[in-house]
Structure 1
Amino acid sequence: MADLKEVVACMVFICVVIGIILFATLTSGKSRDDVSFLVIGDFGGLPAFPYKTAVEEAVAIQMGKYARNNTVDFVLTLGDNFYYDGVKNIKDPRFQETYGNVFNQTSLNVDWYMMAGNHDYRGNISAQIAYTAVLERWQFPSYYYKLTFDIPSSDKTIDILVLDTIMLCGNSDDFQDQMPQGPTSSEKAETQWRWIQDNLQASRADYLIVAGHYPVISVGEHGPTPALFERLMPMLHKNRVTAYFSGHDHNLQHLERENSWSTVNYFVSGAANFIDTSMRHAGDLPPDQLKFHWAKKLSLGGFGHVRVTDKTMTFGFYESFGKELYKHVMLPRNLK
């Protein structure tokens, strides 16, 4: 009888332990204290079969693995969604061939916030915006727009301004090594400049991110974008922006620039389809502003990951083989 009681007690104990483990597993996702997202630029494949590059495919596979092993709330893209000439219309097969068939992992079935790059503007941008009504995760509500996220378990927030830098600066011809030639419509450009200024001034978010396809500063092949350097950069510093994200140059970079108002971090994440090792514009900036640069031809690209809590915002770069390349930690804005 005593043995039976011991067996029953042992079984009860085991059941309790299993229950605790199961409960912890089921509820572990309910006590999050962060917002987590991936950052990818210039991933637009090829206009002919196989409609993707080895780099794009490798980046997609590693992003899927990362998202399976880490919570990812959304993906922020940085333009050039379709090389070399965008899409023709909402039924263009490139939506599936270059995007849907490549980024097809279940773990990446989260919101993708899109923006236009210079190659997208060689096609039909309105079709990319309209595709928002076709594919649930494809989020491209307007040429430029604002996102706001609450940081769980806190009263802190994140604002992200998604810009259309081609509308601001004009298109560029990469094959002719041409810089942006000025906006097609000065009226549309000025309307967006006013929108940027108004939203920067109004934001009281603890972290303020601005994202556009063209870089403000870069040491890569394309280098700094004159209109953004001259007009946007002062706005970013005056309004104490946490970071500016861009693509266009096909590498990974972190630059940090300080002035009398604030320090702004500039991240370039454009290594998701091609890799360009050029540091042609390294001499355009003081050497201490470049904190990180990566462009390995023998590698298969890379992407960024951002984790934001009430205390810090961390930006990490990862290559397609899964290695963490670099990490930088930023503090909330000081708005006092």
Structure 2
Amino acid sequence: MASFDNKTMVLCLWLAINFLSTVSSELPRFEHPIRGDQRLKFLVIGDWGRNGAFNQSEVAFQMGRIGEELDIDFVVSTGDNFYDNGLKGEHDPAFIDSFTNIYTAKSLQKQWYTVLGNHDYRGDALAQLSPALRKIDNRWLCLRSFVLNAEIAELFFVDTSPFVKDYFTIPNEHTYDWRGVTPIKIYTENVLKELESALRESTAKWKIVVGHHAIRSVGHHGDTEELVERLLPILRANDVDLYMNGHDHCLEQIGDNQSPIQYLTSGAGSKAWRGDLKGLNRKDLKFFYDGQGFMSVQMTPSDVEIVFYDVFGIVLHKWTMSKQLHDLHPIM
């Protein structure tokens, strides 16, 4: 019988873990208890990690100010956490330079719930998922897909990059770290199956899905057709209220013409002002801002308020929804 050396055993173990990660039957779950007044408050930011450049530091300062004003519970990151090509490894100084040393306000010393973006996959994607980063900064929690139970709301984080066909075309000008997500067809099918099951079983007052790529957008990248085809039917069938994303470096809100879903883009954490827009005459477009900023969310069991801020912390747009009546109440 052939014997195995240590390197072979390690490789076999890694392959086994990799395989199991593609066939797991349930999304990881985390609990975030909310305050006694049954209010949930958090900020949403995306596409930010540039060592403070491109106004990242200025946006971070205003996040700290608004975070203190609202007394937020946590922060959601919609991906593209480190530019241009993710992290090089667990000890890449970019983690401290673009995260720890930028979001220094006391109000932002809360848990950050994070997904990967396509730029993160261009580096060492496993590094961002590593528990080693939590030892450097315990705010950091990044997984491919997971569920956050915040009592009155459940947030379902989805790894959207593996759905986008363009990233797999050959030749491709970029290389991507697909360790842990291959074979892609099985991986994406399992993500959708696990998400559908979690949404169906959820009893939360509000259901929020978070991904990096937009389902609907009038920004630089526009709609992500793979998500329109494969993810959107699941959201519509399971009474999802909000879909939050980054990817386009802008702030926007678009309604859905077949359900109450609102598509909310918060991908303006640093470099923005692209100027190439698609479909500004879209009748379901409620708000668009081609510049830097972030978003806040305040929820009770019956109401949600979304607020978009620019790089100066000025309120650009407010919107509320009542759960009982599904009435939309824009606030000018």
TM-score in terms of structure 1 length: 0.78
Q: For 1:80-138, what per-residue CA distance to the aligned partner results, in whole angstroms no more than 9, with x for missing partners?
A: 00000000111110111111111112221000001100000001121111123442111
User: Does residue 37 in structure 1 map to residue 34 in structure 2?
Assistant: no
Q: Which residue type is aligned with residue 216 of structure 1? A: I
User: Does residue 204 in structure 1 map to residue 203 in structure 2?
Assistant: yes
- Counterpart of 1:165 (choices 144, 160, 164) is 160
Matches within 5 A, 1:37-116: 37-45=42-50, 51-116=51-116
Partner of 1:254, secondary structure, is: strand
Displacement of 1:328 after TM fit? 1.1
Provide the alpha-carbon RMSD of the alignment.
2.5
Structure 2 gap ranges (5+): 1-33, 327-332
- 8 Å Cα contact 1:249/1:276 also seen in 2: no
User: Does residue 274 in structure 1 map to residue 274 in structure 2?
Assistant: no
Matches within 5 A, 1:15-34: 32-34=37-39
- 8 Å Cα contact 1:168/1:193 also seen in 2: no
127-136 or 219-228, larger mean C-alpha shift: 127-136
Mapped to 1, the partners of 2:75 and 2:35 lie a distance apart of 21
Mapped to 2, the partners of 1:100 and 1:234 lie a distance apart of 38
Matches within 5 A, 1:229-244: 229-244=228-243
Partner of 2:23: none
- 8 Å Cα contact 2:302/2:324 also seen in 1: no
Displacement of 1:41 after TM fit? 0.5
Q: 1:31 to 1:197 in 2, by over 3 A?
A: closer
Displacement of 1:279 after TM fit? 4.7
Q: For 1:197-250, what per-residue CA distance to the aligned partner results, in whole angstroms no more than 9, with x for missing partners?
A: 111211221100001000001001100011101111111111110010000001
Mapped to 1, the partners of 2:85 and 2:166 lie a distance apart of 12
Mapped to 2, the partners of 1:312 and 1:292 lie a distance apart of 20
Mapped to 1, the partners of 2:136 and 2:188 lie a distance apart of 28
Partner of 2:283, secondary structure, is: helix
Mapped to 1, the partners of 2:173 and 2:325 lie a distance apart of 40
Q: 1:31 to 1:193 in 2, by over 3 A?
A: closer
Mapped to 2, the partners of 1:334 and 1:312 lie a distance apart of 10
User: Does residue 138 in structure 1 map to residue 137 in structure 2?
Assistant: no
Displacement of 1:170 after TM fit? 4.9
Q: Which residue type is aligned with residue 33 of structure 1? A: Q
Q: For 1:23-80, what per-residue CA distance to the aligned partner results, in whole angstroms no more than 9, with x for missing partners?
A: xxxxxx97533100000010011xxxxx321421110000111122221100000000
Q: 1:219 to 1:207 in 2, by over 3 A?
A: same
Q: Which residue type is aligned with residue 270 of structure 2? A: N
Partner of 1:92, secondary structure, is: coil
Q: Which residue type is aligned with residue 32 of structure 1? A: D
Q: Which residue type is aligned with residue 267 of structure 1? A: L
Partner of 1:66, secondary structure, is: helix
Q: 1:325 to 1:164 in 2, by over 3 A?
A: same
Partner of 2:283: 288
Matches within 5 A, 1:141-152: 142-150=143-151
Q: 1:333 to 1:188 in 2, by over 3 A?
A: farther
Mapped to 1, the partners of 2:166 and 2:150 lie a distance apart of 31
TM-score in terms of structure 2 length: 0.79
User: Does residue 221 in structure 1 map to residue 220 in structure 2?
Assistant: yes
Q: Which residue type is aligned with residue 188 of structure 1? A: Y
Mapped to 1, the partners of 2:218 and 2:164 lie a distance apart of 19
Q: For 1:115-162, what per-residue CA distance to the aligned partner results, in whole angstroms no more than 9, with x for missing partners?
A: 10000000112111112344211112x311000112xxxxxx201000
Mapped to 1, the partners of 2:156 and 2:111 lie a distance apart of 16
Q: Which residue type is aligned with residue 163 of structure 1? A: V
Structure 1 gap ranges (5+): 1-28, 46-50, 151-156
Partner of 1:37, secondary structure, is: strand
Q: 1:30 to 1:233 in 2, by over 3 A?
A: closer
User: Does residue 315 in structure 1 map to residue 310 in structure 2?
Assistant: no
Q: Percent identity over the alignment?
A: 33
Partner of 1:263, secondary structure, is: coil
Displacement of 1:276 after TM fit? 3.0
